[in-house]
Structure 1
């Protein structure tokens, strides 16, 4: 995905998350909650930058590169949120068990979405493009 559409996708998901949280779920309009809302967006954009730099923009995409980019993005995202938590509080939510649960959840979502994308490309190559030739590394 080109940089512009990728940034717009990340910002769109972030904005939707904030609208749902503050608008429907009643997140408090406190400086703490607002700071974490901004940090979620900044962390998401930082993760996007890392994933793009990991080489996911080229034609030769391998499962190892996708996994590496996802893992690096996750680390950058969580680290950015932890840095804010060190400043304003909330580090208890970064217990290893909690972070591991989130990482497993993210990994499962990644695997499922990649499988769904492959299915779309296999069943409708005219609409979604043909499957790329995956390399082992």
Structure 2
């Protein structure tokens, strides 16, 4: 493949990663520390190759951190930086869980299984971290986990709907593209 062909084939992926990053800024404005990383990880796993899904998830996490420290003025202490790094690792592992589930099932079942796997991995790993460092698991009270689940579920549904609309629009425009005979 020529350099131009390689760059052209990467363009939709880069555009998709950029779009997820932009969407994450909107979610960060509304939810700050409760940005739906499991939802973003799932959409990335459903949309891209494994490598690109991890890159997209990492980009969403990084944008959230930059926004949090730069605009929302998160504390700049070791504990906050450590939690930020932990959230990045947990988000990447959630992406892996979503990808694994997505490869096991197809269609709507696969998408729902991917989201469930990402959310369970995300919340489960956070509980493990809390337990490992001796924190009480108060943040995992049913009401709080339900709230975080609903934020992630709504974000996932919205992102999935948007992904579907864009994919259909691209297919539709491709069908109208002139063909060389």
TM-score, length of structure 1 as denominator length = 0.81
Shift >4 Å, 4+ stretches: 126-129
Q: 2:130 is matched with which residue? A: 85
Rg larger in structure:
2
Distance in 1 separating the partners of 2:82 and 2:123 = 15
1:48 aligned partner:
95
Q: 104, 118, 121: which is aligned to 2:150? A: 104
Please show how residues 11-90 of structure 1 align to structure 2 within 5 Å. 11-56=58-103, 61-86=106-131, 87=133, 89=135
CA distance in structure 1 between the aligned counterparts of 2:79 and 2:155, rounded to whole angstroms: 29
Partner SS for 2:106: coil
Q: How many residues align?
A: 127
Return the structure number with greater helix share. Answer: 2
Verify the 8 A CA contact 1:39 1:80 in the aligned structure 2. Answer: no
Higher relative contact order (CA 8 A, sep 6+): 1
TM-superposed CA distance for 1:15, in Å, is 0.8
Unaligned runs of 5+ in 1: 130-137
SS of aligned partner of 2:148: helix
TM-score computed with the length of structure 2 as normaliser? 0.63
Structure 2: runs of 5 or more not aligned: 1-47, 176-181
Match status 1:113 vs 2:159: yes
CA distances 1:79-104 after superposition (whole Å, capped 9, x unpaired)? 11122222153622211111111111
